[in-house]
């Protein structure tokens, strides 16, 4: 085959016109071996979906990241849970575009969304985050969590993994405009975390929610302010014209209002039923066992997370009761 010199020249010419997908990506960090695929959502928006599980499952790939491709540059929303995963994401991006990544918007500063930020920072990307993350970065909790992940996610999180401070902290909603695409970055304040953002991509009408929404599974409550989170979801339920919703965890939601409703209903259920027991001064164990969890018990992550979630909300409700 291709014995004729002209045929060889033609083949070389074709190879030279291929997109960056044909080039071998230069990995600097230990290679992750998980499956990762860019899913096209709209003209400008793609995302990768992490697996359902706890933070150290699937080599730490349990959260989502979104890629917004403009005509001149790329914006990424959330940086994944290790430098290795971030490099794998970048390799996937390079299969479809060689445009520079000029910014990463961090919806919040939880470990599974930020340990990959250094990959993009080292490429010159500007890191944008909500007001409040500076308190987390300065906390003992942030340092302890990184040390724990260096053990539980070694070698993908290791001594070269570092916490990245944002280049820009926003305290109110802003609009970022690129040729052909704009991104409304909504500042929510404390909800799922100490500081949360959402992003609306236009004209695509794709809504990126971070961990304010968990699609198809129970959310991780952690140290969230469940009251403020629930109030935020009530406001989000009025979001009109959105064609798709990309959550922080779980699959793409083609019915955004239904996705918002699941997280909202779960938090409301926790606060209603646990709140009734807190007012009666019931112990947590007795209260938990008395509640009918059947509306949610078949959802992914229920067995792993529901009791922990309930206990965190129980403590918060006790605090609310005795401070009001």
CATH number at residue 230: 3.60.15.10
Q: What is the pLDDT of residue 3?
A: 46
| pLDDT tens readout for residues 175-234 | 999 888 999 999 998 888 888 999 999 999 999 999 998 888 888 887 788 888 898 888
Mean pLDDT calculated for residue range 25-38: 94
Report yes or no: 137 and 163 within 8 Å, Cβ to Cβ: yes
Say whether pLDDT at 309 is over 50.
yes
Is the preceding peptide bond at 203 cis, omega within 30 degrees of 0? Answer: yes
Domain limits for position 168: 21-323
- If phi over 0 gives left and psi between -120 and 50 gives alpha, with beta otherwise, what is residue 301? left
Domain count, the chain: 1
Residue 87 pLDDT class (50, 70, 90 cuts): very high
Cβ–Cβ contacts within 10 Å for residue 118, how many? 20
Residues with Cβ within 8 Å of 257's Cβ and at least 6 positions away in sequence, in order, are 237, 239
Average pLDDT over residues 258-262: 87
Per-residue pLDDT at 246 exceeds 90: yes
Q: What is the mean pLDDT of the chain?
A: 89
- Is there a domain that residue 9 lies in? no
Is the model's pLDDT at 277 over the cut of 60? yes
In a domain, 5, yes or no: no
Residue 49 inside a domain? The answer is yes
Q: Give the pLDDT mean for 86-113.
A: 96
CA 208 to chain centroid, in Å, comes to 9
- Is the pLDDT at 248 greater than 90? The verdict is yes
In the three-class reduction of DSSP (H, G, I as helix; E, B as strand; rest coil), residue 198 is classed as strand
Window from 67-71, 112-116, 249-253 with minimum mean pLDDT: 249-253
Question: What percent of the chain shows pLDDT beyond 70?
Answer: 91
**Is residue 111 a part of any domain in this protein?**
yes
Check pLDDT > 50 for residue 285.
yes
Instruction: State how far the Cα of 74 lies from the Cα of 70, in Å rounded to an integer.
Output: 6
Instruction: Flag whether 162 is in a domain.
Output: yes
Q: Which of 3-7, 158-162, 209-213, 237-241 has the lowest mean pLDDT?
A: 3-7
- Is 237 part of any domain? yes
Tell me if 294 is assigned to some domain.
yes
Contact 261, 245 (CB under 8 A): no
Q: Residue 239 has what pLDDT?
A: 67
Answer whether residue 143 shows pLDDT above 90. yes
Give the pLDDT of residue 224: 83
Average of pLDDT values for 250-254?
Answer: 90
Say what percent of the chain tops pLDDT 90: 69
Residue 206 lies in a domain: yes
């Amino acid at each position: 085959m291709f014995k004729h010199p002209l045929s060889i020249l033609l083949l070389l010419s074709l190879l030279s016109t291929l997109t960056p997908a044909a080039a071998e990506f230069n990995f600097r960090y230990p290679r992750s071996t998980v499956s990762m695929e860019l899913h096209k959502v709209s003209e400008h928006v793609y995302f990768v979906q992490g697996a359902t599980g706890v933070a150290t499952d699937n080599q730490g790939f349990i959260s989502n990241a979104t890629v917004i491709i403009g005509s001149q540059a790329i914006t990424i929303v959330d940086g994944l849970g290790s430098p290795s995963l971030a490099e794998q994401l970048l390799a996937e991006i390079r299969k479809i575009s060689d445009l520079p990544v000029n910014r990463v918007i961090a919806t919040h500063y939880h470990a599974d969304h930020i340990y990959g930020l250094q990959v993009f920072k080292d490429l010159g990307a500007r890191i944008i985050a909500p007001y409040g993350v500076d308190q987390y970065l300065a906390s003992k909790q942030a340092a302890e969590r990184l040390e724990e992940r260096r053990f539980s996610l070694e070698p993908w999180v290791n001594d070269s993994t570092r916490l990245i401070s944002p280049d820009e902290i926003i305290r109110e909603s802003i609009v970022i405009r690129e040729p052909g695409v704009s991104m409304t970055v909504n500042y929510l304040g404390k909800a799922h975390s100490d500081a949360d953002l959402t992003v609306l991509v236009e004209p695509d009408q794709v809504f990126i929610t971070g961990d304010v929404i968990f699609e198809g599974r129970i959310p991780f409550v952690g140290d969230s302010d469940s009251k403020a989170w629930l109030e935020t979801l009530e406001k989000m339920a009025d979001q009109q014209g959105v064609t798709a919703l990309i959550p922080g965890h779980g699959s793409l939601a083609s019915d955004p209002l239904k996705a918002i409703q699941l997280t909202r209903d779960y938090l409301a259920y926790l606060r209603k039923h646990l709140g009734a027991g807190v007012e009666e001064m019931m112990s947590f164990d007795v209260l938990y066992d008395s509640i009918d969890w059947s509306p949610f018990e078949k959802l992914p992550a229920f067995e792993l997370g529901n009791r922990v979630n309930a206990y965190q909300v129980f403590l918060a409700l006790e605090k609310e009761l005795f401070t009001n």
